Amino acid sequence: MVSQNARVAIIGGGMGGLTAAIALTKIAGVQVTVFEQASQLGEVGAGVTVAPNAARVLDRLGVLEGIRSAGAVPDGHGVYQNAMGEIVTDAAWEDSAKNYQNIGMYRPDLINALASNVPAEVVRLGHRLASVETVDAGVRVEFENGVEDVFDAVIGADGIHSVVRQAVGQHPEPVYSGYIVYRGVVDASLLPEDWPMISQVWMGDRRHFMAYPLQQRKLFNFVAGIPSDRPLNGPWSGPAEVSELAAEFAGDQWDPKLQHFIRQIDKTFWWGLFDHDPLTNWSRGAITLLGDAAHTMLPHQGQGVNQAIEDSMALATFLAAADEIADIPEAFRRYTAVRMQRTAILQHGSRRAGAMFDAQYEFADLDKRDADIRVGRDFRRSTVFDYDAQKVAEQALTRFRKVQFA
């Protein structure tokens, strides 16, 4: 195993960076330091689903129970419905072995649960990375506050606007999806007592609305996707009036139950949906990428964070197999080879899922669209939820070793 004295810097203390810190410490046994630009760890006041493929990783890391107890496991499978609330199909919500289910998490709760497993002295707040470069002694990082240091390796978990990505020669253009989402949470006590404790999606007229429980069922998350060119003329997100969101789902062609839900919203904000085409490389020497820095994807499959969690386990597994610090670039190269394929499929699939929900392009024929969504449910369970990131990395290691000794 690579020396316990190996010093690894993780740039970004989001959900990806914190999970990487836990995985690299527990599985690879290296010393990590997390550098976060913000003055405190935090997240936007909205929800995120921890899917079975990530729950499996978090379980192996010994942190799943804390996360599950802060979140909300639904009562059963979710539903895709038309605008009037008639069911199109049920939605996958657990893996085939029924070991892991979706967990609805309030984002600040997930950050807290992850951070409680990372020693406070490991996290350096108020450190905004300015530059990163390979030098003879390792990888040099410099922050806007004047701090600089040299590490044996650097991991860029610094999100969609990643600075580290430039150091691996990648400069992807953000691609705007043509959609914004209104996001936020609703107090569950305001909903009717028989409101289903599952994920529901309403789809109609080039827009969709999703809601699912969070925080021990005390809150409901909502995400409403609307076509808009708003982010093309200014900021990518901002505060919004609830009335503008309500107007998008007004009228007698929308389910009155959904309109009742929307009336309980007291606060919302809008968010432009951007991704980028798959990168052509993630690693250069002892520098690599993880999470949105490596593979920003649209949220329509709910896999952005879940892929960052898979990345963390794969990276830790390859790093654990490195004998010494000089082997880290090869560990990163192997990690890249395995993870780029998986995440490129999901980046593409997330664009396609958005087009399905909003009946665009080849999905304009609703009967065919509905059939595709039904088929997609099984793909999602077997290909996305059943994926075991640790096992895949271990199998790949065996194959890499065979090539090495051939």
Binding site for ligand FAD (CB under 6 A): 11-17, 35-38, 48-49, 127-129, 157-159, 163, 181, 183, 223, 271, 291-292, 299, 302-306, 308
Q: Are 78 and 201 in contact (CB under 8 A)?
A: yes
As measured in angstroms, the least distance from the Cβ of 181 to ligand FAD is: 5
Residue of 80, 212, 335, 387 with catalytic role: 212
Could you tell me which of 340, 350, 343 has the C-alpha nearest to residue 376? 350
Q: Are 363 and 369 in contact (CB under 8 A)?
A: yes
Toward ligand FAD, which CB reaches closer, 50 or 88? 50
d(CA 203, CA 379): 20
Toward ligand FAD, which CB reaches closer, 35 or 254? 35
Q: Which run of H or E residues covers position 339? A: helix 328-357
As measured in angstroms, the least distance from the Cβ of 306 to ligand FAD is: 4
As measured in angstroms, the least distance from the Cβ of 37 to ligand FAD is: 4
What are the C-alpha distances in Å from 255 to residues 41, 45, 80, 244?
38, 26, 13, 18
As measured in angstroms, the least distance from the Cβ of 15 to ligand FAD is: 5
Q: Are 118 and 18 in contact (CB under 8 A)?
A: yes
Residue 243, Cβ density class (10 Å: 0-12 exposed, 13-18 middle, ≥19 buried): exposed
As measured in angstroms, the least distance from the Cβ of 327 to ligand FAD is: 25
User: What would the two tokens of residue 315 be?
Assistant: 């990276």
Toward ligand FAD, which CB reaches closer, 33 or 89? 33
What are the C-alpha distances in Å from 53 to residues 56, 95, 97, 154?
5, 8, 12, 26
Catalytic: 212? yes
Toward ligand FAD, which CB reaches closer, 20 or 321? 20
Q: Which run of H or E residues covers position 207? A: strand 207-214
Q: Is 263 helix (H, G, I), strand (E, B) or coil?
A: helix
Q: Is 31 helix (H, G, I), strand (E, B) or coil?
A: strand
As measured in angstroms, the least distance from the Cβ of 397 to ligand FAD is: 24
Alpha helices, H only, 62-180: 64-70, 107-115, 164-167
User: What would the two tokens of residue 198 be?
Assistant: 């599952």
Toward ligand FAD, which CB reaches closer, 163 or 279? 163
Alpha helices, H only, 61-118: 64-70, 107-115
As measured in angstroms, the least distance from the Cβ of 127 to ligand FAD is: 6
Give the dihedral of Cα atoms 114, 115, 121, 124; nearest 10 deg: 110
Place of tokens 């995985």: 23
User: What would the two tokens of residue 292 be?
Assistant: 């949105």
Residue 126, Cβ density class (10 Å: 0-12 exposed, 13-18 middle, ≥19 buried): middle
Tell me the catalytic residues: 212
